[in-house]
Amino acid sequence: MNYQQLIDSQRYQIEAYLKAEYTITQIANELGVHKSTISRELRRNSKKRSYNASYALQQNLKQTFTLQNLILRGKEDLMNITIN
């Protein structure tokens, strides 16, 4: 099974479904994703036992930019290596 990241609108849907007291399985079925995807999203992006889609998007952007910086830094390090 391939992993797919949630899109922004799905994060807002998760928040709405949780407020409507849907279970993780019900949310997964509604969004057409595996229940582990929902569980992982809630675990990573919930604070104080509540899920906020805006907070989740902010966290996702932070992680994306951090990964991009690491990749770019790694390329720069490789370019600076001299072969003896």
Q: Fold for domain 8-80? A: Arc Repressor Mutant, subunit A (1.10.10)
Give the pLDDT of residue 84: 45
Give the pLDDT of residue 62: 82
Domain ranges of the chain: 8-80
Cα(17)–Cα(19) distance, integer angstroms: 5
Identify the sign of the CA torsion 48, 49, 55, 61.
Answer: positive
φ, ψ at 50 (rounded to 5°):
-135, 155
Give the pLDDT of residue 2: 67
The amino acid at 81: I
Per-residue pLDDT of the chain (84 residues; tens, 9 = 90+): 566 789 999 999 999 999 999 999 999 999 999 999 999 999 988 877 788 898 898 888 887 777 667 777 666 655 555 554
Structural element, H or E, at residue 27: helix 24-31
Token pair for residue 55?
């907070």
